[in-house]
Amino acid sequence: MVLLLHRRRQRTSAWSLKQATCLGLAALVGCVGCSHRPSRISAPPPPPSLQPSLASPSAETIPPAAAPAADLPVVTYGPAPAGFPPDPDSLSTARLDEGVHPTRRIAAYDAPGGQPRAFLAPTISGVPVTMPVVERNSGWTAVLLPSANRTMAWIPPGDGWTTVPLRDQLVVYRGTHELSWHRDGVPVRSWPVTLGSPQTPTPLGRTFVLGRSTLPGTVYAGTDVFALGAVPDDPGSIPTGLRGAHIGLHTWYNDLTLGKDDSDGCIRLTKTAQQLLLQEIAPGTAVVVLDRPTAPTSTKGSATRHFT
């Protein structure tokens, strides 16, 4: 189920991935701010698979993976199971240029050689899942966990998953209400955005594009929405009809709130910007939300600052 979040003054009603949300993808693509239920969720096919490129440590240095219990929970669009470690670099803007796509159900662990906590499936509500790689240690690979904020999971070496290249990154600055698109580490374009209200702020930290959905109604200007892996930091602050939703990235029927804190947590941008990102951004692309730029993202006359 996929849900996106609306501002409270707008109509709110849940929608699904196969029944979606705008806080992102409530079952796969539900987002905070997207109140309608889409008829289906779709995602562009992932890039061609690559085999892990890093040399593997010798077998003696790789902590063994404990056999997972058959009844472990499966990560879905709903809240992820507890017990996974925090992302230690959740505010880093370092480029994440590789993603993991499960080719079958695989176990996710709380540490290299640690305890299996849940299964990761190839799809969530029918949408192929690619999770950006954030760390490697002792032959194990850590990825950002879907349906959780600032959390990662460890995957042991072996079969059951492939890696895919990721070229892009989206960086959102809450203090300046700006979204910057980077490709291969180089800034491409930037746009003003609407962000969450003080009661329902857009969550800080690293997340990623989980999938996209076509939603009915006019509030999304006839344009598909992205559901992100992130969820509201305070689920209780969200209107009842949007509980279980994910944070979304989408356009809006007007641009009157650009540069303001006016959503239920979703990131809103112009229609032309959203249409461009829908053409260019692949599943698994990292999205980083910061309070303010650590350095100027643009200057007057800069070619990288391009609002449309």
* 51-97 pLDDT, tens digit each: 444 444 454 599 999 999 999 999 999 999 999 999 999 999 999 99
The pLDDT value recorded for residue 281 is 98
Paired sense of beta strands 140-144 and 152-155, if any = antiparallel
Dihedral sign of CA atoms 203, 209, 211, 214 in order: positive
Q: Are the beta carbons of 148 and 79 closer than 8 angstroms?
A: yes
Q: Name 265's Cβ contacts closer than 8 Å, sequence gap at least 6.
A: 5, 23, 32, 33, 196, 200, 201, 202, 203, 232, 238, 247
Type of residue at 219: V
Task: Please state which of the ranges 11-20, 124-133, 182-191, 286-295 shows the lowest mean pLDDT.
Answer: 11-20
Type of residue at 233: D
pLDDT at 10 over 50: no
Domain map (residue ranges) of the chain: 64-164
Q: Which two tokens stand for residue 168?
A: 């892009």
Instruction: Please give the full DSSP string across 140-168, using - where no structure is assigned.
Output: EEEEEPTTSSSBEEEE-SSSSEEEEE--E
Q: How far apart are the C-alpha atoms of 45 and 113, rounded to whole Å? A: 32
Instruction: Please give the full DSSP string across 117-138, using - where no structure is assigned.
Output: EEEE-SEETTEE--EEEEEEET
Bridge partners (DSSP) listed for residue 192: 178
Query: In the predicted model, what is the mean pLDDT of the chain?
Result: 84
The pLDDT value recorded for residue 55 is 47
Q: Which two tokens stand for residue 249?
A: 């990235």
Q: How far apart are the C-alpha atoms of 259 and 272, rounded to whole Å? A: 16
Task: Please state which of the ranges 23-37, 230-244, 259-273 shows the lowest mean pLDDT.
Answer: 23-37
Strand, coil or helix: 275: helix
Q: Name 46's Cβ contacts closer than 8 Å, sequence gap at least 6.
A: 99, 101, 128, 130, 164, 282, 283, 284
The pLDDT value recorded for residue 216 is 81
Q: What's the alpha-carbon Rg for the chain, to the nearest Å? A: 18
The single residue listed with the structure tokens 């941008």 is: 269
Residue range 169-195: average pLDDT? 98
Q: pLDDT exceeding 70 applies to what percent of the chain?
A: 76
Structure confidence at residue 23 as a pLDDT band (50, 70, 90): very low
Q: How far apart are the C-alpha atoms of 166 and 181, rounded to whole Å? A: 13
Q: How far apart are the C-alpha atoms of 107 and 128, rounded to whole Å? A: 17
pLDDT at 19 over 90: no
Q: How far apart are the C-alpha atoms of 250 and 19, rounded to whole Å? A: 17
